[in-house]
Amino acid sequence: MPVSPKIYHGNSTPSPDAELAALIDAHPKPSSLSEYSYGTAGFRYEASLLPCVFVRMGIFAALRSASLGGEEVGAMITASHNAEPDNGMKLADSHGGMLDAAWEEHAVSLANAPDSQHALALIHTLLSQHTSTGDGGNSSKKKLPKMVVHIGRDTRSHSLPLAALVIRASRAMGATVIDHGEVTTPQLHHFVMHANGHMLPSIIPQRCNESGYCEIMAMSYAALLRTGSVGGKGNVGKQRLHSTSTLVIDGACGIGALKINQFQHIFEKLRAEGCTVGLPTLHTVNFPGDGPLNDKCGAEYVQKQQLPPRLYTPSSKGAVSKRYMTSFDGDADRIVFHFEDEAGKFHLLDGDKIAVLVSSFIQDELRCIDPEGKAVKCGVVQTAYANGSSTLYLKNVVKTNVVIAKTGVKFVHAAAHHHFDVGVYFEANGHGTVLFGPKFYDFISAADAKLRGTSRHNRANIALRRLRVLPALVNQSVGDAMSDMMLVDAILFLRGWDLSTWSKLYSDMPSKQAKVKVADRSIITTNENETAAVAPAALQIALQAAMDDMISQESSGNGPKPRCFVRPSGTEDAVRVYAEANTQKGADTLAYEAMMLIYKLCGGVGAPPQPLITNRL
């Protein structure tokens, strides 16, 4: 059952400096690390390296809240898709999204301050520059604004002690801490967004705790499913297809498995109330403790290896239908779908396929009200990892706008917000959501007024009911596996599709992803959208030659051409490689050539990479 958060009040020491200095001194910088860097999604390291930076980030989160005049912010303790020994922190700004880019620099400076004296000096500078009640160098002289920090954590064994450090540090700054305990990353972002209620569009009910989060989502999901029972043209979703009647959820042995199970209770209640239209049976596997976190299971493994997850839960052996499956990652902010066909072949439906399904659904519904499609600008944001076939399909078949942004939610989220009134963003790894802007809400109000009094069976009216529930169903702060799962399931239900039908919309170009370990991955830099390496210059020249070679070997007709790019990971100590070609052998060859180039030109460590051979199931 959802638990209520614990509230800790800030310490009321007249001058917090002594306590802050003591905390900082007690958690010195590890000698094995030259500098902390802010990665793709915040600080992420092997857990024993983190106490120093977590104390400072507890202080920093309070500072950030102070700089926003007391608006509430969040800190999530998680290393998401990484292996169990790693941990990290994702910082949520008051709008619920990722920390403002300008403040990342301050976070890095505070994390790397050589000692408590320098750290305190920086804290005072930030306070005086960014708060109206800033102390100009002495926090004991003036009253600080209200500061509120929400804390959440994943199920890693070290997340609890690390969270305790963050709580202590925030309280030492005088901040009120709201400790949500074990939650998913998107839940924590949701709590922060809802805590600052003035930022919520009026269409979304304000619910700042876990039971509220579950209720809003489940009710919106049920409302969307119910629109399938109305009938009318294009409305096939009256009955669930047998192949989608049970949805198996691989929880990656992490927090998502525990949280999705809470929806069972709500679904049971809905069934008891007679609201049964289309609700599937949920069957969760891979709970915390069943197996190692993210190891041979979960979204990262399934998507990168293009293999089904291992099923660790003892009762799942032989009892799981593989027709309709989904995998979350370790903090449940990513989701991919997959199934085994009648011939036992594995099929993956990744973030690209989700972007296609969701964007075409929303556009179809909008066009039922606005056939010209001019009132609201829709589009999709992808990254360089998007399969070339998906981008072509989006442009040529869905006929939507496509923008390519840098890897990382903070970039794709910002691009969706900036370019579109309805911006669908999904990274191929399954991290994504849909953002609705002010013009969308104006469109809904105008449609409401226009369609008032028309029949419930009127197709435009059905479209309006569908579109109206989306902002509450779809997490508006960050990608959310549970929310995306319900959105996708509802769309499949309304379309009368199963995973096989959805999968056949287009065929992915064969692709390969790999990693290479080098002494210092920061020597590799890329262009703005990461499609080409800028340094070392010799790397891109050699990569281009390998791509040209592959293009001349494979005739690609009008389809996407073979391509390959490399970039340093911002979450793991590795350089990532992505290759796609017209054949799996071509993609494997290209990826292997890129790995060898990185190994030779960028200081590879350990044994040289081995040739890649993909064996499909």
- Positions annotated as catalytic residues are 80
Binding of ligand G16 at residue 176 (CB under 6 A)?
Answer: no
Asked whether 471 and 216 are in contact (CB, 8 A), the reply is no
Binding of ligand G16 at residue 570 (CB under 6 A)?
Answer: yes
Binding of ligand G16 at residue 150 (CB under 6 A)?
Answer: no
Minimum separation from the CB atom of position 136 to ligand G16 (A) = 37
The whole-angstrom distance between residue 254's C-alpha and the CA centroid of its chain comes to 15
547-552 own/partner pairs: CB under 8 Å, 24+ apart? 547/590, 550/581, 550/586, 550/589, 550/590
**In this chain, which of 139, 313, 429, 477 binds ligand G16, going by CB under 6 A?**
429
Minimum separation from the CB atom of position 37 to ligand G16 (A) = 12
Binding of ligand G16 at residue 85 (CB under 6 A)?
Answer: no
**In this chain, which of 84, 295, 365, 427 binds ligand G16, going by CB under 6 A?**
427
Closer to ligand G16 by Cβ: residue 78 or 116: 78
- CA torsion sign for 322, 265, 466, 238 is positive
How far apart (Å, rounded) are the C-alpha atoms in residues 355 and 444? 22
Q: Which two tokens stand for residue 192?
A: 């922060």
Minimum separation from the CB atom of position 478 to ligand G16 (A) = 8
What is the pattern of x (binds ligand G16, CB under 6 A) and - over residues 507-526? --------------------
Minimum separation from the CB atom of position 104 to ligand G16 (A) = 14
Q: Tell me: cis bond preceding 536? Omega within 30 of 0 counts.
A: yes
- State whether residue 348 is helix, strand or coil: strand
How far apart (Å, rounded) are the C-alpha atoms in residues 32 and 447? 60
Binding of ligand G16 at residue 569 (CB under 6 A)?
Answer: yes
How far apart (Å, rounded) are the C-alpha atoms in residues 391 and 509? 11
Minimum separation from the CB atom of position 571 to ligand G16 (A) = 3
Stretch that binds ligand G16, among 148-156, 195-203, 568-576, 597-605 (CB under 6 A): 568-576
Closer to ligand G16 by Cβ: residue 207 or 406: 406
Q: Which two tokens stand for residue 426?
A: 């999904």
Closer to ligand G16 by Cβ: residue 194 or 334: 334
How far apart (Å, rounded) are the C-alpha atoms in residues 317 and 401? 44
- Stretch (H or E) spanning 563: strand 563-568
Binding of ligand G16 at residue 431 (CB under 6 A)?
Answer: yes
**In this chain, which of 131, 184, 526, 571 binds ligand G16, going by CB under 6 A?**
571
Stretch that binds ligand G16, among 175-183, 426-434, 544-552, 596-604 (CB under 6 A): 426-434
Asked whether 556 and 411 are in contact (CB, 8 A), the reply is no
Asked whether 359 and 329 are in contact (CB, 8 A), the reply is no
**In this chain, which of 68, 409, 539, 587 binds ligand G16, going by CB under 6 A?**
409
- CA torsion sign for 338, 489, 190, 447 is positive
Closer to ligand G16 by Cβ: residue 572 or 580: 572
Binding of ligand G16 at residue 40 (CB under 6 A)?
Answer: yes
**In this chain, which of 407, 503, 540, 589 binds ligand G16, going by CB under 6 A?**
407
Closer to ligand G16 by Cβ: residue 161 or 570: 570
Residue 454 C-beta-side C-alpha neighbours within 13 Å: 16
The residues that bridge with 194 in the sheet, in sequence order, are: none
Total Cβ atoms within 10 A of residue 613: 10
Closer to ligand G16 by Cβ: residue 41 or 144: 41
Closer to ligand G16 by Cβ: residue 181 or 570: 570
Binding of ligand G16 at residue 245 (CB under 6 A)?
Answer: no
Binding-site size for ligand G16 (CB under 6 A) equals: 18
Stretch that binds ligand G16, among 5-13, 454-462, 481-489, 569-577 (CB under 6 A): 569-577
b/e per residue 595-605 (b: at least 16 CB within 10 A): bbbbbebbebe
The residues that bridge with 6 in the sheet, in sequence order, are: 179
What is the pattern of x (binds ligand G16, CB under 6 A) and - over residues 42-81? --------------------------------------xx
For tokens 């890329």, what's the residue?
526
Task: State the residues that interact with ligand G16 by CB under 6 A.
Answer: 40-41, 80-81, 329, 333-334, 407-409, 427, 429, 431, 569-572, 576
